[in-house]
Amino acid sequence: MGLPLRKEEEKYTYKDYFGWPDEERWELIDGIAYDMSPAPSIDHQDILGRLFVEFLVYLKGKSCKVFLAPVDVILPKDDETEEECQTVVQPDIVVICDQLKLNSKRCNGAPDLVIEILSPSTTRKDITVKFSLYERVGVKEYWIVHPLDKTILVYKLDGNRYARAEMYSAADKINVGIFEDLIIDLATVFA
């Protein structure tokens, strides 16, 4: 299982990314471009939809928002302008509670919660590259969903590092860490 296809070995910015054809889906992580094709599997999309609905229903009337891919999340370093930013990702699901990070086109800054559903072409990137990225930028909670195993690894930020993963299976319920009263029954998610 290798990394997804990459554009030529040079550093790219959000300005470059914004000019690429709409029919191509890419992510930039520290200036490296990762191809997001092929399209996800039906199982991936089914799990994505079920998780999204759980958050959407819970967040109705609340200030936090949930979005599903594709939505650009740009993660500039302190001294980068938006155009100079070398990191823009499209997580499967993001929850954002700080409305100042949102505009009509994207999220600018770390979401509160990110969910990535593994695909054969993205597994290595999601487990290593994105794990390090989300930890570094301060995503409070990072879920890695394994559709084939019907498991979810949940990482919660403890200071500036992720604590050891909590592992959940289809028989479990997850108490979502960023919300006091949201419990997701994984039997429904993996049905």
Residue 60 inside a domain? The answer is yes
Residue 72 inside a domain? The answer is yes
Residue 21 inside a domain? The answer is no
154 touches 166 (CB < 8 A): yes
Question: Tens digits of per-residue pLDDT, 32-89?
Answer: 998 887 788 999 999 999 999 999 999 999 999 999 999 999 999 888 888 899 999 9
Q: What is the pLDDT of residue 19?
A: 86
Segment 146-169 shows an average pLDDT of 97
- Find, among 87, 54, 52, 59, the residue nearest to 72 by Cα: 87
Residue 18 inside a domain? The answer is no
> What residue numbers bound the domain in which 55 lies?
38-189
Q: Is residue 128 classed exposed, middle or buried when 0-12, 13-18 and 19+ CB atoms within 10 A define those classes?
A: exposed
Model confidence, pTM = 0.92
Residues 6+ apart with CB under 8 A from 86: 11, 12, 13, 14, 28, 29, 30, 31, 77, 80
- Find, among 71, 74, 107, the residue nearest to 92 by Cα: 71
State how many domains the chain has. 1
Residue 182 inside a domain? The answer is yes
CATH of the domain at 74: 3.90.1570.10
Residue 143 inside a domain? The answer is yes
Residues 6+ apart with CB under 8 A from 45: none
Residue 5 inside a domain? The answer is no
How far is CA 29 from each of CA 34, 88, 129, rounded to the nearest angstrom? 8, 6, 8
Residue 32 inside a domain? The answer is no
